[in-house]
Amino acid sequence: MSSNTIEVVAGIIFNQDKSQVLLALRKPDQHQGNCWEFPGGKIEPNEDRAQALARELDEELGIHVTESESFCQVKHDYSDKSVHLHFWQVTQFFGEPHGREDQKLQWFAVDELGSLRFPEANVPVVEKLTKVLV
């Protein structure tokens, strides 16, 4: 990991019965474009992970997180950047998720996740989710 590692928080957002997960499709011109991802973003200075998660999911999806817990962390080096991802399970929220940044959103059954294209750093999380929940 380089000293300029980007700290990121991401939400694994479940529907009511935990049978589906909400994913966002990265735009083609973004890093790791055209991949599905768990919504989230960079942690700002002086912001803890829970605050960052709540802010990012409000900005991106228009939802307000009411219940979440830490799931796992992943450190990954891409050829052009290093990321430290903090994944949180979001089990309760209010508001109807919608792409506030014009990104496509879609609910997927947990057992479908393995067939989707994700950024490399998300693959260990997908594998862990499918082992735990399927």
Residues 61-111 pLDDT 10s = 999 999 999 999 999 988 888 999 999 999 889 999 999 998 999 999 998
72, 125 in Cβ contact below 8 A? Answer: yes
pLDDT of residue 133 exceeding 70:
no
Residues 32-43 pLDDT 10s = 778 999 999 999
pTM for the complete prediction? 0.90
The confidence score (pLDDT) of residue 27 equals: 84
pLDDT-above-90 percentage for the chain: 70
Say which amino acid occupies 94: F
- Which domains does the chain carry? 6-133 (3.90.79.10)
